Structure 1
Amino acid sequence: MRTAEARDVGRAVDTERYPLADPGGAAWAAVVSRTRAELAESGCCVLPDFIRPDLHGALRAECAALAPRAHYGVETVNAYNIDVNSPLPDNHPGRITVKRGNAFVARDHIPADSIIGRLYTSEPFRRFVAGCFGLPRVHELADPLSGLCLNVVNPGMEHPWHFDTNEFTVTLLTQGPADGGAFEYCPNIRSADAENFQDVQSVLTGGGGHLIRRLTLRPGDLQLFKGRYSLHRVSTVRGATARHTAIFAYSERPGVIGSVERTRQLFGRVLPEHPAAEGRAVRIDRLLD
């Protein structure tokens, strides 16, 4: 590991609890093993105070300063993020639509020397993430707008029920709301082989409470999550303070760039790299997105 990278990680991360600089060591292996077990059981694991508590204020301030650069847009969506006019049976959960009004700050607006910018590009952090998900390695996205972004959920808004396109997600809460904004999820409600539309329909229509787990995250907490198979949402944010979350997107293969349509939805624009990469996506299953 390069000395500068180790120093950057040590300044931001509580390396006594999360020894990123010692891959394969006993403490590193213990954290990774515990995280893998939680991911296998529920598809979710939270590492509290992953960022050193004395840096929580700086983390919040850096990301709060970026929030005004978010692209805001309200759109009608379904849990699968597919065209709401898709021909589906009458009782299909994809026919249930809601308004989504959260927002994202694109990667090209996030300084490389910010706390989240340094963490995203850190080799020790990528190695740790790969280990936790049981992967040989993960890669930064080649996408100039996604990969690293900041999610902003303003008061009165929510991030409604949905599935992720990526099999795994890594997020860091940088600012918590005054009230509300809980993370709710249904562990492994579907699999690569089965959509389980009946249970999904139940949750989307207000039932299925026994399938839902709830988390109230704190600033500095790192969340690892398998969102491809677990329906999830952020409940309505209340009070005067927005909820800010850094999203670290990695891939098992290099060179990944988002689609033109999805990129425009999230960031309100595309760059030349996006149309150039169209048609190169590789699906990992036959599920709806």
Structure 2
Amino acid sequence: MHDVDTARYPLAAPGSDAWERVVTKTRTDLRTHGCSVLPEFIRPSSWETLRREGTTVAPSAYYDVTETNVYNIKLDADLPAEHPGRIIMRRGNAFVPRDLIPTDSLIHRLYRDPSFVRFVAACFELPALHELADPLSGLVLNVVQPGMEHPWHFDLNEFTVSLLTQEPEEGGVFEYCPNIRSAGAENFDAVRSVLTGTDRAPVRAQTLRPGDLQLFKGRYALHRVSAVHGDTARHTAIFAYSQRPGVTGSVTRTRQLFGRVLPTHRDAERHAVRVDQLLD
């Protein structure tokens, strides 16, 4: 793709010295911190295209300002008094689903580009990745309006790929706590300490700029986007891939994110298999 700075990120030249340098550094970042940022992955000459395409579809985002908890489980769930799931936060971000993002847009073309998918898989040390079969959540534009935030949470996927398309005037900082839990240990005390602000030691902060590509391991890392201030919303394209083909989101989470579900989601739910027993 001509929009990618291929001098720094030679997607079409796997195995080249430049490709190996980028992949090696990204792998090291992910092993050490669970996060790696590739600055100006998209050329500055294409930033205005990114911004314009995002602002065009942003009004189609599903907005549902609501109360939530860190695990996205029921607020009245039967939990111990000190359980972090009892801490209520306001979620004010919104999502434009894939079926409302034009297929000729920069982010849609990048999402489907085989050289990009191969590069991302290599960075995550995976043999291959597949687009989600989900017609809504495979590719989304995350919109955080001024005064809103995306509160502390964990991802359903083990890894996330995102691209900032519009930065806010103030705020909107990505904060995360790498490996605060594992597949076999929730570490509720540590999570609660971050949520209540009594321990900020595990928190790392990353301010992203337009065109920056972020690779992140969000299944075990508590993370959030802090409140946005000013007159400009924060827009981020989120690219969802899976290690196996045919993956579709759950009915409950899909309705929560987009306000609707499709027959595809109901059919997939009947055959869903969890990869761990974490709360979310």
Structure 2 length normalisation: TM-score? 0.98
2:37 maps to: 46
2:109 maps to: 118
Residue 120 of structure 1: CA displacement? 0.4
Residue 279 of structure 1: CA displacement? 2.9
2:245 maps to: 254
1:136 aligns with 2:127: yes
Match of 2:5 among 10, 14, 25: 14
Residue 227 of structure 1: CA displacement? 0.4
Match of 2:199 among 205, 208, 227: 208
Provide the C-alpha distance between the structure 1 equivalents of 2:263 and 2:276, rounded to a whole number of angstroms: 28
Match of 2:64 among 54, 67, 73: 73
Could you say what the CA RMSD is over the residues aligned between the two structures, in angstroms? 0.8
Residue 282 of structure 1: CA displacement? 2.4
Provide the C-alpha distance between the structure 2 equivalents of 1:30 and 1:151, rounded to a whole number of angstroms: 30
1:97 maps to: 88
1:240 aligns with 2:231: yes
Provide the C-alpha distance between the structure 2 equivalents of 1:208 and 1:280, rounded to a whole number of angstroms: 40
Deviations 1:168-206 (A, max 9, x none): 000000000000000001111111121111110000011
Provide the C-alpha distance between the structure 1 equivalents of 2:125 and 2:240, rounded to a whole number of angstroms: 16
Match of 1:275 among 257, 263, 266: 266
Q: Amino acid of the residue matched to residue 52 of structure 2?
A: A
1:178 aligns with 2:169: yes
2:76 maps to: 85
* Identity within the alignment, %: 67
Q: Amino acid of the residue matched to residue 43 of structure 2?
A: R
Q: Amino acid of the residue matched to residue 167 of structure 1?
A: E
Residue 284 of structure 1: CA displacement? 2.0
Provide the C-alpha distance between the structure 2 equivalents of 1:26 and 1:282, rounded to a whole number of angstroms: 40
Deviations 1:237-269 (A, max 9, x none): 000000000000000010011111111111111
Deviations 1:2-32 (A, max 9, x none): xxxxxxx2x1110100010011222111111
1:63 maps to: 54
1:30 aligns with 2:5: no
Aligned-partner SS, 2:49: helix
Match of 1:222 among 190, 208, 213: 213
Structure 1 length normalisation: TM-score? 0.95
1:192 maps to: 183
Deviations 1:156-176 (A, max 9, x none): 000000000100000000000
Q: Amino acid of the residue matched to residue 114 of structure 1?
A: S
Provide the C-alpha distance between the structure 1 equivalents of 2:9 and 2:198, rounded to a whole number of angstroms: 38
Aligned-partner SS, 2:31: helix
What is the aligned length?
280
- Point out where structure 2 has 5 or more consecutive residues left out of the alignment: none
Aligned-partner SS, 2:51: helix
Provide the C-alpha distance between the structure 2 equivalents of 1:286 and 1:13, rounded to a whole number of angstroms: 39
1:148 maps to: 139
Provide the C-alpha distance between the structure 2 equivalents of 1:57 and 1:144, rounded to a whole number of angstroms: 27
Provide the C-alpha distance between the structure 2 equivalents of 1:18 and 1:280, rounded to a whole number of angstroms: 38
Residue 221 of structure 1: CA displacement? 0.2
Residue 280 of structure 1: CA displacement? 2.2
Provide the C-alpha distance between the structure 2 equivalents of 1:283 and 1:23, rounded to a whole number of angstroms: 33
Provide the C-alpha distance between the structure 2 equivalents of 1:251 and 1:181, rounded to a whole number of angstroms: 27
Provide the C-alpha distance between the structure 2 equivalents of 1:45 and 1:97, rounded to a whole number of angstroms: 30
